[in-house]
Structure 1
Amino acid sequence: MLERKNIEFPLWRKKVDKSLFGYNGTTIPNWACDMWKLPETFADVSSKKDEGSIVKINFNSTLYDGWVTSAKKGRRSPAYRLWYDESLSLELKHTFLMSYMRSLETNLSSRKTTDIEKTIPFWEFLDIEYDSSKRLFKFCAYYTQEPSFPELFKRLVQSSAIQRIDDEIANKGEARIHKQDWMLRSALPLQQGAKNVIYTLIDTRNKLIYIGEAVDLVKRLSANYASIPHWDYFRYDVLPDVFAPHRVTLERMIIRDLAALLPNKKHDNNICISEYILANTKIDS
Structure 2
Amino acid sequence: MDRNLSPDLPIVIGVSTRALFDLEEEHAVFKNQGVAAYTALQREREEELLKEGTAFEVIRRLLALNDQDRRLIDVAVLSQNSPDLSLRAFKSFEHYGLPIRRGSFTSGRPVAPFVKAWNIDLFLSNDDKDVREALAGGAAAAKLGPPPCVQCDPHTDEVRIVFDGDSVLFSEESDLIFKEHGLDTFLVHEREYAKVPMNPGPFGNFLQKLAKVREIFMRPDGVSKIRIGLVTARNAPAHARVIHTLRDWGTPVDEIHLVGSAPKAGFLQAIGAHIFFDDQKKHVDGAAEVVPAGHVPGPHDPEELVIVAEN
Alignment TM class, shorter chain as reference = under 0.3
The structure in which a higher percent of residues are strand is: 1
TM-score, with length taken from structure 1: 0.27
- TM-score, normalised to structure 2, is 0.26
Higher relative contact order (CA 8 A, sep 6+): 2
